């Protein structure tokens, strides 16, 4: 297990991976670190003056304090269709392979002077490349996983299924981020306590409307700046 970074994944798409990733990158920079981000494949990119515009990749690049041109290395694979990257790649006649994504991430890690933060696409078991899932990229890179989930009813099921998947693949869980996105969420809902009883990893709650700076402080403090993953062992406390 390589402690020098994190793989940011999620229980589903659209739950706040990029928000959490950017917040953590800014916190690392504020702590004097020099993090390097990589979201090797991004789909649903709109066309801009310089071609396909990877909004998530651009946000991660800026959060790490890198020049705009660095996005070419942060997100080298970009696709217009808002589909899983493997489908989006096939739609333009260019099948995407796991080895290409691993190479892009390793190129960022090589010579880096700070932690590597890799963001997947979609959920942990979402297809990412030909015959490969986000989970396969996490395994290939050997990074502990920071799991992001929306803090809502039904999250316990998807979180526990993902924890089981992490355990089966021998991946360390750096923490679970419960990102509350809806202001009308039942205030009695307490996913954090239920999850904390079932895992030894930190469970971090982000309130609806929390600022990026505050979110980054909470996440980085809870996971020891992402540089010291939990001891080897099962991801869950079952």
Give DSSP secondary structure letters for 107-141.
Answer: HHHTT-SS-EEEE-SSSTTSEEETTEEHHHHHHHH
Count of positions (residues) in the chain: 238
Distance CA(227)–CA(131), nearest Å, equals: 31
Q: Which residues contact 105 (CB under 8 A, 6 or more apart)?
A: 38, 40, 116, 118, 137, 141
Residues of the chain with pLDDT under 50: 1-3, 225-234, 236-238
Distance CA(184)–CA(161), nearest Å, equals: 26
Which pLDDT does position 175 carry in this prediction?
Answer: 95
Which pLDDT does position 186 carry in this prediction?
Answer: 74
Phi, psi of 224 (to 5 degrees): 55, 50
- As to burial, measured by CB atoms within 10 angstroms (0-12 exposed, 13-18 middle, 19+ buried), residue 92 is exposed
Q: Is 110 a catalytic residue?
A: no
Which pLDDT does position 223 carry in this prediction?
Answer: 85
19 three-class SS: helix
Q: In order of start, what are the domains of the chain with their CATH numbers?
A: 5-226 (3.40.50.300)
Which pLDDT does position 4 carry in this prediction?
Answer: 80
Which pLDDT does position 111 carry in this prediction?
Answer: 79
Distance CA(166)–CA(128), nearest Å, equals: 17
Which pLDDT does position 181 carry in this prediction?
Answer: 81
What mean pLDDT is reported for the chain? 91
Tokens of 184: 């009308």
149 three-class SS: strand
- Under 8 Å between Cβ of 199 and 166: no
Q: What is the dihedral of CA 135, 136, 142, 146, to 10 degrees?
A: -20
What are the distances in angstroms from CA 200 to CA 11, 120, 189, 232?
A: 18, 23, 21, 11
Find the catalytic residue in 26, 39, 78, 218: 39
Which pLDDT does position 235 carry in this prediction?
Answer: 52
Which H helix or E strand runs over 174? strand 173-179
Chain-centre distance for alpha carbon 155:
17
């Amino acid at each position: 297990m390589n402690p020098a970074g994190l793989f940011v994944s999620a229980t589903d798409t659209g739950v706040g991976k990029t928000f959490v990733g950017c917040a953590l990158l800014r916190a690392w920079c504020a702590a004097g670190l020099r993090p390097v981000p990589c979201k090797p494949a991004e789909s649903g990119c709109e066309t801009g003056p310089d071609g396909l515009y990877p909004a998530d990749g651009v946000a991660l690049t800026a959060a790490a304090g890198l020049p705009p041109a660095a996005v070419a290395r942060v997100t080298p694979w970009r696709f217009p269709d808002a589909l899983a990257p493997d489908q989006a790649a096939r739609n333009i006649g260019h099948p995407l392979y796991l080895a290409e994504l691993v190479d892009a991430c390793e190129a960022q890690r090589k010579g880096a002077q700070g932690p590597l933060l890799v963001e997947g696409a979609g959920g942990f078991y979402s297809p990412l490349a030909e015959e490969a899932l986000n989970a396969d990229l996490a395994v290939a890179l050997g990074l502990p996983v920071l799991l992001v989930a929306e803090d809502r009813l039904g999250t316990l099921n998807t979180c526990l299924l993902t924890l089981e998947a992490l355990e089966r693949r021998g991946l360390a869980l750096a923490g679970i981020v419960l990102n509350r996105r809806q202001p009308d969420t039942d205030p009695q809902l307490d996913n954090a306590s239920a999850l904390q009883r079932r895992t030894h990893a930190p469970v971090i709650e982000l309130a609806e409307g929390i600022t990026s700076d505050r979110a980054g402080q909470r996440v980085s403090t809870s996971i020891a700046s992402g540089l010291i993953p939990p001891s080897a062992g099962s991801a869950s406390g079952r």
